[in-house]
């Protein structure tokens, strides 16, 4: 599997303390380590999660296209029981630090 320049850049940023790893936990128990910059917003975390999943799918030969519009309409990210609802808000404002776990949860129907 090819390693992208972006992945190398992320690892270098982690080494220098300019980035952090946020572990995103799915309902099936799978945990995905996603690397984002220290002052990342919720939207940047979502984009990093999207890139992580797309790279994994490409390497495993799985589904090539996912509807992210559908995914974000159906699921949301939560941390310590609080929804990460505001895409503009920084992860730090929610209290998220390096190696913290964020849950990927299906929204409940109203």
Spans of all domains in the chain: 5-106
**Could you read off the pLDDT of 50-97 as tens digits, one per residue?**
999 988 888 888 777 889 999 999 999 999 999 999 999 999 999 999
Tell me the pTM: 0.88
The pLDDT of residue 110: 64
The pLDDT of residue 60: 83
Buried b (16+ CB within 10 A) or exposed e, 24-41: bbeeeeeebebbbeeebb
55: number of Cβ within 10 Å:
16
19: number of Cβ within 10 Å:
20
CB of 83 closer than 8 Å to CB of 77? yes
**Could you read off the pLDDT of 2-49 as tens digits, one per residue?**
788 888 999 999 889 899 999 999 989 999 999 999 999 999 999 999
CATH class belonging to 5-106 = alpha beta
Cα separation of 28 and 25, whole Å?
8
């Amino acid at each position: 599997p090819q390693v992208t320049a972006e992945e190398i850049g992320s690892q270098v940023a982690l080494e220098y303390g300019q980035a952090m790893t946020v572990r995103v936990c799915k309902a099936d128990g799978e945990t995905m380590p996603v690397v984002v910059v220290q002052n990342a917003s919720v939207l940047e975390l979502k984009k990093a999660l999207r890139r992580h999943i797309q790279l994994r799918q490409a390497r495993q030969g799985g589904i090539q296209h996912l509807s992210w519009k559908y995914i974000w309409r159906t699921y949301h990210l939560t941390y310590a029981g609080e929804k990460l609802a505001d895409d503009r808000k920084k992860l730090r404002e929610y209290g998220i630090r390096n190696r913290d776990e964020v849950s990927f949860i299906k929204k409940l129907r109203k």
